[in-house]
Amino acid sequence: MSVHLQREIGLLKKKVLALGALVEESVLLAAKALRERDETLAQTLIDGDNLIDEREVDIEEECQKILALHQPVAHDLRFIIAVLKINAELERIGDSSGNIAKRVLLAKSHLAGFSSDLEAMAYKAQQMLHRSLDALVNLNAALAYEVIAADEEIDRFNRSMYEKMEECILRAPESARAYIAVGGVSHAIERIADHASNIAEDVIYLVEGAIIRHHHEDRAPQQS
């Protein structure tokens, strides 16, 4: 690997990790807005989404430049491909944080009856994101597999939330819009977990060179 390519890959890694930290902060703020039903914080989060979008575009352009100028191969090429995919997943997580904030504004007081379940979901999704980024930093495929395995619990939470929401709508159809917004919060948290799981898959691709999407049950963590 040339000195120039090595330097540019190092800078690219710093950029994607900085974006990861920014996105993780957006998830934490969304969870806080949800927990405290803080409409001002929710609006601040919505207004700040542009920064994540700008960073995502910058990283994509940097990847394209490296591909064009250096034509990397083998592990370097895998790294660029993985960064492109992780970059897109992080931007979508930022969007999901914004969606939580928007629905906090719509649901308002109706969140109270769901707060403990939603907070538990949000905490688990935050942990999945944090651990997927740790797996990226440390190139830890075993940790990435653990993140993927955790996604099913979030899916169960989400299904349970929708069942509760439907019961509430049947009891109080005049509040249907607010309860649908509650369901939107649950769905946005579930999407954050899905994107964190996708980041973990990309880490496994980077470390092992294996594409495991749709084949989780057939794969086992590699022993180091």
189 Cβ contact list (under 8 Å, min separation 6): 96, 100, 118, 121, 122, 125, 154, 157, 158
Looking at per-residue pLDDT, the higher value among 218 and 58 belongs to 58
DSSP 108: G
Contact 222, 142 (CB under 8 A): yes
Residues written for the chain: 224
Give, in degrees to the nearest 5, the angle at Cα 100 between 176 and 25.
165
SS3 72: coil
Digit-coded pLDDT (tens) for 81-129: 999 999 999 999 999 999 999 998 888 788 878 888 898 999 999 999 9
Say what the pLDDT of residue 125 is: 96
Say what the pLDDT of residue 214 is: 66
134-145 average pLDDT score: 96
Say what the pLDDT of residue 1 is: 55
Digit-coded pLDDT (tens) for 198-220: 999 999 999 998 888 766 554 55
Label residue 222 by pLDDT band (50, 70, 90): very low
16, pLDDT greater than 50: yes
- Delineate the domains of the chain, giving CATH numbers in brackets: 3-218 (1.20.58.220)
